[in-house]
Amino acid sequence: EVQLVESGGVVVQPGGSLRLSCAASGFTFDDYAMHWVRQAPGKGLEWVSLISWDGGSTYYADSVKGRFTISRDNSKNSLYLQMNSLRAEDTALYYCAKGQVPAATMGAFDIWGQGTMVTVSS
């Protein structure tokens, strides 16, 4: 079964740091780009970051650029999001999602995890 499982979400103080993880299974992880997408409580979806299949290219939303870092370990079938200088507006459910097309950064997100909740509050 193709599956993505996020972890690492907690309550953290403003200015703090956190690393989210996403464990992939059921597909050839290193063939696909991966994304992080977040959803603030009661709000819509916001694309956060993208990493290419080989980790060689990364992209970020302006709202997180310079504070968040996406990475992957293809030997462990895992995706990460290092989050620094956290703000209240980063409070959201964070999803990891798989790119649909092998070896491409463009395309739909065809598999999503269940999400992990990050709350930034003092």
Partner 1 sequence: DIQMTQSPSSLSASVGDRVTITCQASQDISNYLNWYQQKPGKAPKLLIYDASNLETGVPSRFSGSGSGTDFTFTISSLQPEDIATYYCQQYDNLPPYSFGQGTKLEIK
- Shortest spacing between CB 113 and partner 1, in angstroms: 7
- Shortest spacing between CB 98 and partner 1, in angstroms: 10
**Closest CB to partner 1 among 12 and 48?**
48
Query: CA-to-CA distance for 64 and 108, rounded, in angstroms?
Result: 21
- Shortest spacing between CB 122 and partner 1, in angstroms: 27
What residues contact residue 97 under an 8 Å CB cut-off, 6+ apart? Answer: 4, 34, 35, 36, 37, 109, 111, 112, 113
Residue 50 parent element (H or E): strand 45-51
User: x/- binding map, residues 40-79, to partner 1, per CB under 8 A?
Assistant: ----xxxx--x--------xxxx-----------------
**Closest CB to partner 1 among 28 and 114?**
114
